[in-house]
């Protein structure tokens, strides 16, 4: 997994790539919580993620919870159908704001 963090109109966009598993999840958790705790809105681009396991999803959930506490927004972009099936299994599609692409997310003011 590689991570790229960039500034997009005042919000962090975290671009993830590859597989997110038990080995990678701790680093992802740290990255996401660091971004959220800096008080900015966060968008996580999952378009190049080929696999994400429960530990990666748990990191997203924890970051979402922290964002809620600090009243910043936390959204996901471009979830693949495979990952979406796992989200739907745990009904996480009802919890996260999920945008089809970055343009839609920016347009929606996320």
By CB under 8 A, the residues from 25 to 54 that bind other proteins are 25-26, 29, 53-54
Q: Does position 104 bind other proteins by CB under 8 A?
A: no
Name residue 98's beta-bridge partners.
76
CA distance 33 to 7: 16
Q: Does position 106 bind other proteins by CB under 8 A?
A: no
Select the residue interacting with other proteins from 37, 47, 61, 97 (CB under 8 A): 61
CA distance 3 to 69: 24
Cβ–Cβ < 8 Å for 75, 97: yes
Contacting residues toward other proteins, per CB under 8 A = 22, 25-26, 29, 53-55, 57-59, 61-62, 82, 85-86, 88-92
């Amino acid at each position: 997994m590689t991570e790229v963090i960039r500034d997009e109109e005042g919000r962090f966009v975290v671009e993830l790539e590859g597989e997110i598993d038990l080995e990678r999840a701790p680093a992802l958790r740290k990255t996401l919580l660091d971004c959220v705790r800096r008080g900015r809105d966060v968008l996580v681009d999952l378009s190049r993620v080929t696999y994400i396991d429960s530990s990666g999803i748990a990191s997203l959930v924890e970051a979402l919870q922290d964002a809620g506490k600090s009243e910043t927004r936390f959204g996901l972009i471009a979830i693949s159908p495979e990952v979406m099936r796992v989200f739907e299994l745990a009904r996480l599609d009802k919890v996260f704001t999920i945008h089809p692409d970055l343009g839609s997310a920016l347009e929606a003011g996320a």
